[in-house]
Each structure stands twice: as structure tokens, then as C-alpha cells.
Amino acid sequence: MSKFVAVAKVAVDEPKLPIPEGVINRREFLYWLWIASGIILIIGMGFLAAWILAESSLYPILGVDIFEFDVNKIPVPNAEPLLVQGKFWLSNTAAGLYAFNPDKPRCYLYKWVYVNGRFECPGSGAKFQPDGTHVEGPNYGNLDSYPITVIRADGGQQTYVGQPASLHNVVQITVDMRWLIAGQVVEYPN
């Protein structure tokens, strides 16, 4: 015969230690830590969104965004283009003056190759004519450009957007880096 012993549990009130004033427990600490990390995350996402929504080109952020030139400092037609402070290329062709953004998507900072007479990307091998049209390589679009405003000797002013600026009877040239005009996408047959 087996004997079972019944054990009764008796609730014993343990004395509770008083929590000092101003001290938080573990649950409150984790709660406040979670709220602080959420606030930091939201602020970080806000800064990230502002960074992404800023100009696509970082060059205007880094300094001056409007450049004025005397006509005597512009390269002669069909001469080697001028890289202005590493921010844009001034290319003077027979058609007129262009201001190209040196940072093409999917391309490194392209350079002017004097021997070939064209712009070339050292990384992808994309090649562009002096007027910005795509010649060959993996980048299927013309070069991005900036608007050029010319002031003529008679006081007239004209802005060229996405087209060559005529330098006939011009006394001053202004390149506005606040606006970037995307180059025309070139479709090649398969």
C-alpha cells in the first residue's frame, strides 16, 4: 500500500523593499531605451531622406553653384575642353558652348582624352564626343549638362538649356549648376 502525503502550500507574505524615489526598474529602463532608439531611428531616416532628395549631383552642395566667365577665358572652338575646378567641363564646339557634368551615372569621373579628341570613362569605357553625344560603351545616354546664360554686348540675355550656347557677340557667360539637364537616352538596336 502506498502512502501519499498531502502537502499544502501556504502563502507567506514576503516583506517588500521600498523602491527609492527617482529610480526606475528594469521594465521602465527598457521602455525608455526603446523609445530613445525609435527617436534616433526617425531622426536618422529624416537626415537620410534629406540627403537623397538633395541635388543628384553633390558638386553644388560642396560650394559655389553659379559660375561667371569672361568670354576671353573660354576655350576656342574645337580646342581641348576646360575642366572648371573639377565641377564641370566647358566644351566649345563648332555648334557652340556646352557645360557638362563630369559625374555620369554608371561611370567614373570621365576625362578628356586629347589623342582621341573625346571624353572617355576610365572605368566603364564609355566614350562621348565633344558635344556630349554617346559614341560607344555601356552608358547609353548623352552627357548631362548645365544651363548656360549668355549676356550679349547689346545687353540682351539668353539662356540655353540642353543645347549649345551661341557665343556670337557675347561679353559674359554664366553656368548655373543648380539645374542638371539629363542627357538624351540613346536607344541602340539589338
The values of phi and psi at residue 27, to 5°, are: -60, -45
Residue 167's domain spans which residues? 61-176
Q: Does residue 114 fall inside a structural domain?
A: yes
CATH code for position 126: 2.102.10.10
Residue pLDDT, tens place only, 11-26: 666 767 676 777 788 8
Looking at the DSSP bridge assignments, the partners of residue 175 are 67, 148
Q: Does residue 190 fall inside a structural domain?
A: no
Q: Does residue 182 fall inside a structural domain?
A: no
The one-letter code for the residue type at 184 is Q
Q: Is the pLDDT of residue 164 over 60?
A: yes
Q: Is the pLDDT of residue 175 over 70?
A: yes
**For residues 9 and 6, what is the distance between their CA atoms, to the nearest angstrom?**
10
Assess contact for 101 and 88: CB atoms under 8 A: yes
What's the pTM value of the predicted model, to 2 decimals?
A: 0.60
Looking at the DSSP bridge assignments, the partners of residue 150 are 158, 173
Band of residue 189 on the pLDDT scale cut at 50, 70, 90: low
Cβ-proximal residues to 53 (8 Å cutoff; 6+ apart), any chain = none
Assess contact for 139 and 127: CB atoms under 8 A: no
